[in-house]
Structure 1
Amino acid sequence: MCRHIAYVGPAVPLGEVLVEPAHGLYRQSWAPRRQRYGTVNADGFGVGWYADGDPVPARYRRAGPIWADLSFADLARVVRTGALVAAVRDATLAGADAEAAAAPYCAGRWLFSHNGAVGGWPGSLARLAARLPAEELLSLEARNDSALVWALVLHRLRDGDEPAQALADTVLDVAAAAPGSRLNLLLGDGETIAATAWGDTLWYLTGPGAGPGRARTVVASEPYDDDPGWREVPDRTVLAATRTDVLLTPLKEPPA
């Protein structure tokens, strides 16, 4: 379920990453090429981006399909950024959270997205949720599995964990508590990207951006074009990336 993408590199219009590519996130909302679960990503979308000189990202999220939002089309044409996280949400059961359930979630400089599902939700994560301070539980943006997974990640970040480590340890905890979960997590801070491949597809692209020598990295659920530079991330892997480097580290299955 869902498709998501993160970008760090030269400042470009949002649409250059999300709309203009032949198989970009915009098109993935109704015609994904590699989505294994679900078919139409029409239950919300969101994009978070960074402006020069401001470490706190802006967000635009809606409960409906991305193709029906003309305001987003205007934003994507004129808003420029050197870093973003965006997602389209798979059609799912009706809920009261509306756009609050749409990624990316945000806290401080962080933007977060979850592509997947937690098995046995919500009972499977009751013990993990009980470890969080009451204030953090009461601050959840939505009442779904992704929002709680984000709270678990954020708790580790606030305790000083590096981004990739916070994602990896959260995935292992959730996978142990809820076997069979799909936990492709994506985290950005305006300078770096961290992600996990756990149960669904994840790809990355590096190389020059808009201009010679202007490095950029894209991490996405699936390639947005047919550039031969796209590389698939093996399942059970954590990724840590900057504009110029990508590091892949295998993750071990949690004990049975």
Structure 2
Amino acid sequence: MCRHLAYLGPEEPLGRLLVDPAHGLYRQSWAPRRQRHGTVNADGFGVGWYAEGDPVPGRYRRTGPIWGDRSFADLSRVVRSGALLAAVRDATLAGADGEAAAAPFAAGTWLFSHNGAIAGWPRSLAPLARTLPAEDLLSMEARCDSALVWALVLNRLRGGDEEGQALADTVLDVAAAAPGSRLNLLLTNGEVIAATAWGDTLWYLTEPGRRTVVASEPYDDDPHWREVPDRTLLAASRTDVLLTPLKDIDAPMAPAPDTSVPSASVPSASVPSKEPRT
């Protein structure tokens, strides 16, 4: 159910991170290697990115598959950013929300994505929905499960929670209300990345002081990718990656293993050679 990626680092063309890698998000839309649920992520896609001097990100989202959007091919070639969040979507249920249901969701400086599904949706989350202000419910971009999870996270952020705490508490609440849900959440404000691994794959690649990538799955075969254990909160910046089990959310975070690697040793990526059939 969906694939997503967040990046902090030197400015790069969007396509160098999303399209060019041999197993990048572009290819994951039809040929993911590690996706446990679903096979094709063609129900929409989106990318949000930050421009220098403006803390509020821009977004480009569409309803159809990423491979069918010629405008995105041009945009990804020329737009550069040092921070972004992107996703390709496999819808939990059919709906009429269109691109409004495609991540990243946004508010202020934040971008958000949900890889997973809510068990028993929508009935299972009705009690949590009733805890939100009516204005928040009426302001939801879409009526899908991911949009409500975002509303729950955003309510905590606006209440003063840090990014990691907002994700962790939301995951624990939703998991209690809807057991069996898959809750891989991804959040950035352009300076930090917070993510949860809960029911699906999550990986990270880091060169401390230079770049950090957090993704549903590796976009290349660099041996320095590391998998995040299930039921874990990840908090990252350009210099650090910290992991903590979600069941021990009040405990101090542990530094992730050092996976630094000189940039020269990172394998070069190539544009996918096989185009999907439409």
Contact map agreement 1:172 1:253 (CA 8 A) in 2: no
Report matched runs for 1:229-248 at 5 Å. 229-248=224-243
2:43 is aligned with 1:43? yes
2:172 match: 172
Contact map agreement 2:92 2:117 (CA 8 A) in 1: no
Percentage of matched positions with identical amino acids:
82
2:259 match: none
Q: Deviations over 1:41-71 (max 9, x none)?
A: 0000000000000000000000000000000
Which amino acid is the alignment partner of residue 41 of structure 1?
N
1:251 match: 246
CA distance in 2, matches of 1:42, 1:149: 21
CA distance in 1, matches of 2:205, 2:224: 6
Q: Runs ≥4 in structure 1, deviation > 2 angstroms?
A: 91-94
1:55 match: 55
Report matched runs for 1:102-117 at 5 Å. 102-117=102-117
CA distance in 1, matches of 2:125, 2:92: 20
Partner SS for 2:214: strand
Which amino acid is the alignment partner of residue 2 of structure 1?
C
Q: Deviations over 1:187-246 (max 9, x none)?
A: 0101110000000000000017xxxxx600000000000001100000000000001100
Q: TM-score, normalised to structure 2's length? A: 0.88
2:70 match: 70
Contact map agreement 1:40 1:91 (CA 8 A) in 2: no
2:141 is aligned with 1:141? yes
CA distance in 2, matches of 1:120, 1:61: 27
CA distance in 2, matches of 1:13, 1:50: 12
1:225 match: 220
Report matched runs for 1:78-89 at 5 Å. 78-89=78-89
Contact map agreement 1:38 1:91 (CA 8 A) in 2: no
Partner SS for 1:168: helix
Q: TM-score, normalised to structure 1's length? A: 0.95
Q: Deviations over 1:8-37 (max 9, x none)?
A: 000000001100110000000000000000
1:125 match: 125
Partner SS for 1:55: strand
CA distance in 2, matches of 1:162, 1:253: 17
- Number of corresponding residues: 249
Contact map agreement 1:117 1:182 (CA 8 A) in 2: yes
CA distance in 1, matches of 2:184, 2:247: 15
Alpha carbon RMSD of aligned pairs, Å? 1.3
CA distance in 2, matches of 1:115, 1:253: 22
CA distance in 2, matches of 1:177, 1:113: 20
Unaligned runs of 5+ in 2: 250-278
Offset of 1:251 from its aligned partner?
A: 1.0
Contact map agreement 2:171 2:183 (CA 8 A) in 1: yes
Contact map agreement 2:3 2:216 (CA 8 A) in 1: yes
Contact map agreement 2:196 2:234 (CA 8 A) in 1: yes
2:27 match: 27
Partner SS for 1:57: strand
Offset of 1:94 from its aligned partner?
A: 2.7
Offset of 1:253 from its aligned partner?
A: 9.1
2:258 match: none
Which amino acid is the alignment partner of residue 108 of structure 1?
G
Offset of 1:252 from its aligned partner?
A: 1.6
